[in-house]
Amino acid sequence: MLQLQILRENKENVITALKKRNIDAGPMVSKVLELDEKRRAIQTQLDNTLAESNKLSKEIGMLFKSGKAQEANELKEKTAGLKEASKQLGDDLNATATALQEQLYLIPNMPHALVPAGSSEEDNEEVYREGDVPKLSEGALPHWELAKKYDIIDFELGVKITGAGFPVYKGKGARLQRALISYFLDKNTEAGYTEMQVPHLVNEASGYGTGQLPDKEGQMYHVQADDLYLIPTAEVPVTNLHRDDLLAESDFPIKYTGYTPCFRREAGSYGAHVRGLNRLHQFDKVEIVRLEHPDNSYKALDEMVEHVKNILRELKLPYRILRLCGGDLGFTSALTYDFEVFSTAQDRWLEISSVSNFETFQANRLKLRYKDETGKSQLAHTLNGSSLALPRVLAGILENYQTENGIQIPEVLVPYCGFDVID
């Protein structure tokens, strides 16, 4: 959530920056400022009314002590009117503050200066590429055919149990999943991230804290009876560990990693491009989250990008990095780098990770602050990244490592799997 002070003092700069997202934020920003002005005016009225009421109450007490009951009772009638006015002003203040908050929730984060202009994923900027695309034998199969051939993932069984987008991993497929999770967690903890196990359901406050609500409410599974949401990513519960916290500068950096299943409705996702593991309603992901001093957050972002690059190097998967354009940038992000693995059998790039800096946007929602060297309270910066999402990494391994004699296991995963080939 953008800070009110920034909107007040830099209205035109905010509107201009948000044009990179291909939106006209003028009406939204103006509405926020109107509500803010109204809220402050009501607050002033309420403060003045309460002050007058308190003054009269003291006068009434003195009049009664002086034996001037009639004058005291006359003032009591006036204070009754002031109390009624105060109640109405209090109700108006709460209603206006709620409307202001709801309007603030609708404004996305301001893109960083490095974010390129553009309206869709076609305008994303490739900034790095590494790895050679393997040359597969004739008749190479996409991962959903390989899964069936080697009986390691059963998509139809998942449909029987739950529905489309909920695969069942079997035998060596399940062990490879577990191996990837353990490998990712080990790489992250070796890099200084503290492993956390967190709930897979969150309350509404957590959803608002990291920005999934109200922006992605329709994409989240909602347990209405308990008013809880199944998490779309570990980012939500892990970042909310520090909601309403006041940190010290010496606490930074705070680095967490966590494995969770993720749940996404993915409404409207159909077609060949979402076959197999390409898009699921339930999938596994290992996340990294950082809380940083504002002066260090972009250095931290670069470190996170390098960290994911090193993992992909060890897996020996061909990949590229994209800097997302304004039209493809997530609602809460100031700057995002997407990692994509090349799927040789599908002849296309598959997104496997997003690494983002949210600057103060999430921290403002979370009320996540720290005390600077002067003792003043400041908003922290938050960052997160996939390290990594399993489905498309698994798809890339199955397709790029397939041979005529089976699917080879990347060397770095063999100690975790206990086997070196799926045949």
Helix (H) or strand (E) holding 99: helix 69-104
C-alpha triplet 140, 341, 414: angle, nearest 5°? 75
Using alpha carbons, list the distances in angstroms from residue 259 to 68, 101, 386. Answer: 74, 32, 10
Q: Rg for the chain (alpha carbons), in Å?
A: 27
Alpha-carbon span 274 to 253, nearest angstrom:
37
Instruction: Answer yes or no: is 287 a known binding residue.
Output: yes
What is residue 418's DSSP assignment?
S
| 313 labelled ligand-binding | no
Q: Is 333 annotated as a binding residue?
A: no
Residues 6+ apart with CB under 8 A from 126: 320, 321, 322
384 is known to lie in a ligand binding site: yes
Instruction: Provide the 10 A C-beta neighbour count for residue 103.
Output: 17
- Model's pTM, two decimal places? 0.93
What pLDDT is attached to residue 372? 95
User: Does the annotation list 264 as a binding residue?
Assistant: yes
**Taking the alpha carbons of 313, 319, 320, 322 in that order, is the dihedral positive or negative?**
negative
Q: Could you tell me the domains of the chain?
A: 4-104 (1.10.287.40), 121-422 (3.30.930.10)
Q: Please state, in angstroms and rounded to a whole number, the distance separating the CA atoms of residues 69 and 76.
A: 10
Task: State the pLDDT at residue 74.
Answer: 75
> Closest Cα to residue 406, out of 176, 166, 156?
176
Is 34 known as a binding-site position? Answer: no
Instruction: Tokens 């934020």: give the residue.
Output: 25
**402-403 and 319-323: which strand pairing?**
unpaired
**Helical H runs in 105-137?**
none
Instruction: Tell me the C-alpha to C-alpha distance, in Å, between residue 113 and each of 38, 63, 116, 297.
Output: 33, 66, 8, 15
- Is 374 annotated as a binding-site member? no
Does 39 appear as a known binding residue?
Answer: no
Which residue stretches of the chain have pLDDT < 70?
A: 267-273
What pLDDT, on the 0 to 100 scale, is given for residue 270? Answer: 54
